[in-house]
Structure 1
Amino acid sequence: MSSYAITGASKGIGQEFVRQLVADEANTVLAIVRNPASRDISELASKHPNLHVIKGDVTDPKSILEAASAAAAITDGKLDVLIHNSNAVDMASMGYNPSQLPFDAQAIREIFEPSFSTGIYGGLWTTNAFLPLVEKGTQKKIVHISTAMADVTFINKTGVSYAVAYSVTKAGMNVQVAKYAAELAPKGIKVLALSPGWVDTWEGEKPAEVVQADEAMLKQFQLWEPECKAQILPEESVGKCLRVIEHLDAKDSGLLLSHNGDQLTWL
């Protein structure tokens, strides 16, 4: 039996992690969400007794400590795998290049704060809150969901100059993961930054401007991977991510890997 805790589990990739993991009744799955009453996660919990929905906000240190305490009560103080998936972005500025960012201190903070709060600060607080549980677990794995958009070689080859706050945050996350890996190696704990690929998590029909943006990104991404034809679905992404997590060992701890388990096939 394995135990998993996933933050940002109420939608998108996080919810798909939960959906695939609860399919194995031997797993104990902890979905960490800001609103435990949200419809989709509540429906999943009603169908799977091995799913436990826990209230927790990664941007609030007190809240995430309480979530870890609630998790410990369910798992007897142990956790095999922590997946920090929480993410937030300022959508209004996602299309900006760095030279387009405003000469306004408050505006810059508002652009960077959502990503920093969930990825950097939230990553620290979540990891530290759940670390005592992971230390007592069997697999001893911590995974932070990252992106190829934080890989400088990928950026330079594709010319992807937008999504600045998101990419900078994920780059910081990758360094943070490496620091944790260096610190925790003597305890046998493996820490990984994992890119899920180019995943379509849009709910409902896409507006025309989103479709156009996807088409423009595809042309850039094909400079890296000519065979790339479109975004992948969450089911495919998470299935591959779980295989990478399953095979995570000490030699890969501290790295940024793709959902394919390498540092090349990002898409």
Structure 2
Amino acid sequence: MGAGISRFDGKVALITGGSSGMGLATAHRLLTEGAHVIITGRDKTRLDAAIEKIDGGDQIWALPGDVANLTDLDALTAAIHNRHGHLDVLFANAGIAAFQPTIDITEAEFDHVVDTNFKGVFFTIQKTLPLLTDHAAIVINASWALHRGVPGASLYSATKAAVHNLAQTLAAELAPKGIRVNSVSPGYIETPSYRDNVSAEAQAAAVAAVAAGRLGTSEDVADAVAFLASDEASYINGQDLLIDGGLIAAIPERMV
């Protein structure tokens, strides 16, 4: 959207996993459009750095906490209630990547990934439901991996398929309140974590597989989340929006 567009004036938004990458970019986007934004994350130092970087004054504040810890979620919702009294937008973004052969996954690793990627999303929504206004919007961060089998991603992909199905189910369940629930499925996004953990060769291979000929940016995702959270998407519900440069649907000409 261009300068001067303020779709979120007076609205309150919560973004989990907001200290970097897609979460931080979405926080910045909603701030520029008038929202009051709360970001969460497990690392207070990173949250403080994010607040300083985004420079949103009293329109943004950070609360450290782990979405997989229900005590932390109770504290988060109580703090939001005390300060704002309600929520208009929830971006359930917190999640972790986990890629390894299925045969190597331990019970502890399984629990860790499921606790963050599914349990954390489920209970973030459950705990914030009393705060959500009629006609609020929930957006869940899923992944392109739920649309395509990826070797070594059985556990990760299953959690992302679970949260998209949760979006569909809650879209039906919360419809009487006018609350919309959608998910976004980013493709290869050049976040700090992606740059730090993916080799240059693998990044080049990813670019080659994308019809758009480039990696996505956190801002690409933020644009989509802001759209789905806005009144412009008032008739979009229970959907998954791929933000992947054509990775799933289009074969690059150079590969034909």
Q: What residue number does 1:238 align with? A: 222
Residues 114-129 of structure 1 correspond to what in structure 2 (within 5 A)?
114-129=112-127
- Tell me the SS of whatever aligns to 2:182: strand
CA contact (8 A) 2:51 2:61 kept: no
SS of residue paired to 1:144 = strand
Q: CA deviation at 1:85?
A: 0.3
Partner of 1:80, secondary structure, is strand
Gap change, CA 1:83 and 1:265, over 3 Å in 2: farther
What is the one-letter code of the residue matched to 1:113? Answer: D
Partner of 1:111: 109
Whole-angstrom distance in 2 between the partners of 1:249 and 1:115: 32
Give the letter aligned to residue 41 of structure 1.
A
Instruction: Give distance in 2, aligned partners of 1:166 and 1:123.
Output: 14
Q: 1:202, 1:142 → 2: CA distance? A: 25
- Give the match's secondary structure for 1:86: coil
SS at match of 2:58: coil
Of 229, 238, 260, the residue aligned with 2:213 is 229
Counterparts of 1:22-101 in structure 2, within 5 Å, are 22-24=31-33, 26-38=34-46, 39-44=48-53, 47-75=56-84, 77-90=85-98, 94=99, 96=101, 98=102, 101=103
| 31-40 vs 79-88, which moves further | 31-40
- Whole-Å separation in 1 of the counterparts to 2:242 and 2:54: 29
Q: What is the number of residues matched between the two proteins?
A: 239
Partner of 2:181, secondary structure, is: strand
Q: Tell me the equivalent position of 1:249.
A: 234
Structure 2 alignment gaps of length 5 or more: 1-9, 252-256
Q: CA deviation at 1:46?
A: 5.4
Which residue of 185, 189, 202 corresponds with 1:213?
202
1:119 alignment partner AA: N
8 Å Cα contact 1:147-1:194 kept in structure 2: yes
Point out the more displaced range, 7-16 or 109-118.
109-118
SS at match of 2:44: coil
C-alpha RMSD over aligned residues: 2.8
Listed one character per residue, the Cα deviations across residues 18-60 of structure 1 (whole Å, up to 9, x for unaligned) are 1222224x31111122233434223147552200212321010
**How far apart, CA to CA, are the structure 1 residues paired with 2:134 and 2:168?**
21
TM-aligned CA distance change 1:72 to 1:45, over 3 Å: farther
CA contact (8 A) 2:137 2:179 kept: yes
Match of 1:5 among 14, 32, 36: 14
3-state SS of paired residue (2:91): strand
CA contact (8 A) 1:140 1:190 kept: yes
After TM superposition, give the deviation of residue 86 of structure 1 in Å: 0.2
- In structure 2, how many angstroms separate the alpha carbons of the residues matched to 1:161 and 1:124? 26
Given the alignment, which residue of 136, 143, 158 partners 1:140? 136
1:190–1:254 Cα contact (<8 Å) kept: yes
Write the letter of the residue equivalent to 2:88: D
Unmatched runs of 5 consecutive residues or more in structure 1: none
Distance 1:167 1:214 in 2: 20
1:75-110 CA-partner distances (Å, limit 9, x unpaired): 1x21110010001133xxx153x4xx23xxxx4323
- TM-score, normalised on structure 1? 0.79
